Amino acid sequence: MKKKITTLLLIFLTINIANAQKFDVETLKFSGNNDKYLNILVLGDGYTAAEQTKFISDSKKVIDYLFSQAPWKNYTNYFNAYAIKVISTQSGVNHPKTASDCGSKPSYTNNPYFGSTFDVAGIHRLIVPSNSTLIHNVVNANFTSQYAQVLIVANTSDYGGSGGEFATSTTEVNSPEVVAHEMGHSFAALADEYFAGDDYFDEKTNMTKTSDPTLIKWKNWVGINAVGVNKYGNTGLSASWYKPHTNCKMQLLGPVYCSVCTQGIIETIHRKVNPIVSYTPTNGATIASANQYLDFNLTELMKPVTNTLNIKWKLDNIIIGDNVDFVKIDQNTLSNGTHNLVVTITDDSNLLKVDNHASTHLSTVTWTINKSNLGVKLDSFENKISYSMYPNPTTNSFKIEFELDKQSEVSIDLYSIDGKKIRRIENKTIDSGKYSNSINIEDLSAGSYLLTFKIDHSKFSKIIIKQ
């Protein structure tokens, strides 16, 4: 039985590869190594071979516009963008004229490569590429690194778009704004801030059922930049769901993203990428004792346009460098034995008001320096920690989640606010990837507690409030 399945899989694999054509790929925007930076892939649908120049200019238009908008423009150095020149046999997309709001627009059928069609879910302007498997196959056949987002540009001058796994737009005059809106959905999982229908209500970065301004997930923004607690509507379900703003790009074409959506996009960038691209020395370097100075360098960093990175170098827990890309250590100041040098990078952007952000998103490189009379041996470790703890405040339990770049020694302890250890929560080697743990604190009395984390050589703590 097992063998049969394998054979079937092989056949599918062969068919898929055969289906996935090779197309020319053009660079729209380059910041650095595809394996490190965030890649946006733009695929055309409904462009013939003769229309590929138009496809490139349509793609450039939306990508240039996207990166002219905050916060994309602040983090433009984190992104690459590539256009995959997918060739359709006919120009244009499909319009079945099956939605109730098609008006006088005629129906038409073309042969777009990914089957992009209007009238999805009975709404005219919802244009969606119908063959998502084919999109995956084309991406895999034409781009070897990981990608952060696929954007489909459909070759029609009719207004429309959609968010989802793939952001989709047309070439209509508003399409750059549509792309910015759909990227909010597809890249950062933001909700619409207009009423899109009862089925769309869900807990999202910018959508919640919580109405208490002191507890709402955007509580740190309430009262700033016109952020508040706004009902989606006055009747039915929409009266019990709330959004942060009344004039946000996730509601209307034209305005900027509200502060909550801006923060949501930046936090997604933080989750997806490590700004430390490269550093020296790398693991295992040996330096002869004749070299008096040891040089440690962050040789390539992704930096926001106004550089808001906070870079701290600590040697044996003492700060020796602040907001510099390199430090120099005089060997003669080091005693024989083991020393720890840690550089920690956080982002102090004032577009963020995230509690304990410095311990939510941090990247580190740790060097252990073994000094003996023979010379200095160095080992280095790199890690990026993406972290969340919720709900906080809580009544009975809370969840800790983090993602590790590499296998790490993790210990987590719960302390009372006056420093007494209450409970050891974790103390073990944890593989790279996602970690999740639900902690029950029903037995504790109400008040503040301190949760301390040691992940390899990085230490940080967070306050958890039990109500």
Shortest distance (Å) from residue 92 CB to Zn ion: 33
Helix H or strand E encompassing 224: none
The nearer residue to Zn ion, 232 or 449, going by C-beta atoms, is: 232
Shortest distance (Å) from residue 466 CB to Zn ion: 25
Closest CA to 195 of 145, 231, 169, 247: 231
Residue 216 CB partners (closer than 8 Å, separation 6+): 208, 210, 222, 229, 242
Q: Where are the beta strands (DSSP E) in 175-234?
A: 230-231
Shortest distance (Å) from residue 357 CB to Zn ion: 6
Considering only residues 146 through 205, tell me which ones interact with Zn ion, judged by CB under 5 A. Answer: none
**Sheet architecture: strand order including 458-466:** 421-430, 408-416, 447-455, 458-466
The nearer residue to Zn ion, 129 or 304, going by C-beta atoms, is: 304
The nearer residue to Zn ion, 185 or 361, going by C-beta atoms, is: 361
Shortest distance (Å) from residue 132 CB to Zn ion: 27
Q: Which stretch binds Zn ion (CB under 5 A): 253-261, 281-289, 301-309, 312-320?
A: 253-261
The nearer residue to Zn ion, 51 or 177, going by C-beta atoms, is: 177
The nearer residue to Zn ion, 99 or 250, going by C-beta atoms, is: 250
CA distance 150 to 34: 14
Taking a C-beta distance cutoff of 8 angstroms, is the pair 265, 257 a contact?
yes
Instruction: Choose, by CB under 5 A, the member of 28, 179, 248, 464 that binds Zn ion.
Output: 248
Shortest distance (Å) from residue 201 CB to Zn ion: 16
Residue 455 CB partners (closer than 8 Å, separation 6+): 383, 385, 402, 404, 408, 409, 410
The nearer residue to Zn ion, 95 or 361, going by C-beta atoms, is: 361
Shortest distance (Å) from residue 360 CB to Zn ion: 6
| 456 makes contact with Zn ion (CB under 5 A) | no
Give the interface size with Zn ion as a residue count (CB under 5 A): 9
CA distance 241 to 234: 10
Considering only residues 359 through 418, tell me which ones interact with Zn ion, judged by CB under 5 A. Answer: 361
| 206 makes contact with Zn ion (CB under 5 A) | yes
Taking a C-beta distance cutoff of 8 angstroms, is the pair 82, 42 a contact?
yes
Q: Where are the beta strands (DSSP E) in 127-169?
A: 128-129, 149-154, 161-162, 166-169
Considering only residues 257 through 286, tell me which ones interact with Zn ion, judged by CB under 5 A. Answer: 258, 261, 267, 270
The nearer residue to Zn ion, 220 or 368, going by C-beta atoms, is: 220
Binding site for Zn ion (CB under 5 A): 206, 245, 248, 250, 258, 261, 267, 270, 361
